Amino acid sequence: MKYRDIREISMNFIPIAAFLLALLIGAIMIAILGISPLIAYQALLKGAFGSMNAIADTVVKATPLLFVGLGICIAFRAGVLNIGGEGQLVVGALSATIICLVFPNLTGWILILIALFFGFLGGAIWAGIAGFLKAYFNVNEILSTIMLNYIAVYGMNYLLRGPIMDPLQVKLGSFIPQTARLSQAVDLPRFIPTRLHLGTIIAIFFAILVYIFLWRTTIGFRIRMIGQNIQASRASGINVQKYMVLAFFLSGALVGLGGAIEVIGVHHRMFTDGSATGFTGSAGFNGIVAALFGQLHPIGTIPASLLLGALLTGANKMQRVVQVPSALIGALNGLIVIFVVGSEYLRRRQTRRVERIMKVEHNSKNKNKKEDK
């Protein structure tokens, strides 16, 4: 194998190396807590892949990450950061829940489609606000999406503690902030006996769709062009503002769809613990990690979200077996983000180096040819 091939292959392993390094630091933290990292990680691995059910749980956990990751891919390719995944998940899930509560008697498939559509629309509008503010009022999208996260959470808390609270909770006087269980007709089909549901397949379908959209359609091309070079796009007559709003809209739509699927595929109701995390499990942030890990490519995001899903599912098990506070996984997640973005530069530099080597080789070949003549 040539030197440059090794280089080229090693490039793709840099994010994985970064991931492993983060796990290593996690191991040190576990050791400091006085627990054997070996036993802890063993529990993690077993929790993620140890049985049929464990694998299904991993896939179920990965599904919202994939939806968020796909949304992030679109936003990123348009050159904007969408950090509002948490809020968009909440709004998407709420929209789907409310529509199911309003029309409990519709036939299953129709209601499922309507619920998915409303999740899609809810997330799209929520992100669209940020896109609109960015395109026409120059409001920094990082800030507006974060503010919208908080607004969504308080809105959710209000609705779940009042207007759409489970009537049973009111009658019992326990006032747990959640809705009634949605009609079983709207439950997404499951692969019994596991918890795996149809949502995962929908997610993979959308991953392919996003790939086709971004790389095989004119609109997708324009969105990517804006992300590459906004001045050139403007000069070539692209309505930058319109496409920026569209990118946000679609980005939020996918996230919102993920939220709706969490409701009708997993929980079958909406609930809150007062923060966003209670419902989303921080998928809005972890999906960013998945997208990054998948090199901001919709197809690459599929295995990336699986990996993270495994980590999260396994961590749950690890927490039960070796009594590690769940906050450790939070810290570990943060480390993974930091290491993966940090390593991105090394990868870029490596890519450049490979290109340079190829150029040199190319030139020397040409030179040889000339000399032959």
Comparing CA positions, the residue from 111, 67, 115, 124 lying closest to residue 95 is: 115
Asked if 94 touches other proteins (CB under 8 A), the answer is: no
CA 148/CA 300 separation, integer angstroms:
28
Contact stretch for other proteins (CB under 8 A) within 97-105, 144-152, 202-210, 247-255: 144-152
Determine which residue in the list 133, 202, 254, 307 makes contact with other proteins, applying CB under 8 A.
133
Asked if 292 touches other proteins (CB under 8 A), the answer is: yes
Asked if 230 touches other proteins (CB under 8 A), the answer is: no
Asked if 21 touches other proteins (CB under 8 A), the answer is: no
Contact present, 300 and 204 (Cβ < 8 Å): no
For the bound state, the minimum distance from the C-beta of residue 81 to other proteins, rounded and expressed in Å, comes to: 5
Q: Where are the beta strands (DSSP E) in the chain?
A: none
Determine which residue in the list 13, 109, 154, 191 makes contact with other proteins, applying CB under 8 A.
154
Determine which residue in the list 78, 112, 283, 329 makes contact with other proteins, applying CB under 8 A.
329
Asked if 137 touches other proteins (CB under 8 A), the answer is: yes
Q: Which two tokens stand for residue 236?
A: 């070539």
For the bound state, the minimum distance from the C-beta of residue 91 to other proteins, rounded and expressed in Å, comes to: 14
CA 199 to chain centre: 14
Determine which residue in the list 50, 108, 155, 303 makes contact with other proteins, applying CB under 8 A.
155
Determine which residue in the list 104, 167, 189, 325 makes contact with other proteins, applying CB under 8 A.
325
CA 198/CA 187 separation, integer angstroms:
10
Contact stretch for other proteins (CB under 8 A) within 119-127, 222-230, 339-347, 361-369: 339-347
CA 243/CA 238 separation, integer angstroms:
8
Determine which residue in the list 341, 350, 354, 357 makes contact with other proteins, applying CB under 8 A.
341
Q: At what angle do helices 283-293 and 298-322 cross, to 10 degrees?
A: 130
CA 362 to chain centre: 41
Contact stretch for other proteins (CB under 8 A) within 45-53, 57-65, 224-232, 324-332: 324-332
Cα distances from 313 to residues 2, 50, 265, in angstroms, run 40, 11, 17
Cα distances from 251 to residues 55, 92, 121, 179, 279, in angstroms, run 28, 12, 11, 27, 20
Determine which residue in the list 116, 148, 182, 310 makes contact with other proteins, applying CB under 8 A.
148
Residue 178: strand, helix, or coil: strand
CA 65/CA 89 separation, integer angstroms:
11
Asked if 285 touches other proteins (CB under 8 A), the answer is: yes
Determine which residue in the list 27, 114, 151, 321 makes contact with other proteins, applying CB under 8 A.
151
> Dihedral of the CA atoms 266, 268, 274, 275 (nearest 10)?
30
Asked if 81 touches other proteins (CB under 8 A), the answer is: yes
Contact stretch for other proteins (CB under 8 A) within 41-49, 158-166, 191-199, 236-244: 158-166
Pick 189 or 334: Cβ nearer other proteins: 334
Determine which residue in the list 217, 232, 334, 359 makes contact with other proteins, applying CB under 8 A.
334
Comparing CA positions, the residue from 131, 132, 127 lying closest to residue 71 is: 127
Burial class (CB in 10 A: 0-12, 13-18, 19+), 244: buried
CA 262/CA 271 separation, integer angstroms:
12
For the bound state, the minimum distance from the C-beta of residue 140 to other proteins, rounded and expressed in Å, comes to: 5
**Residue ranges that bind other proteins, judged by CB under 8 A:** 29, 33, 81, 83, 133, 137-140, 142-144, 146-148, 150-151, 154-155, 157-158, 161-162, 275, 282, 285, 288, 292, 325, 327-338, 341-346
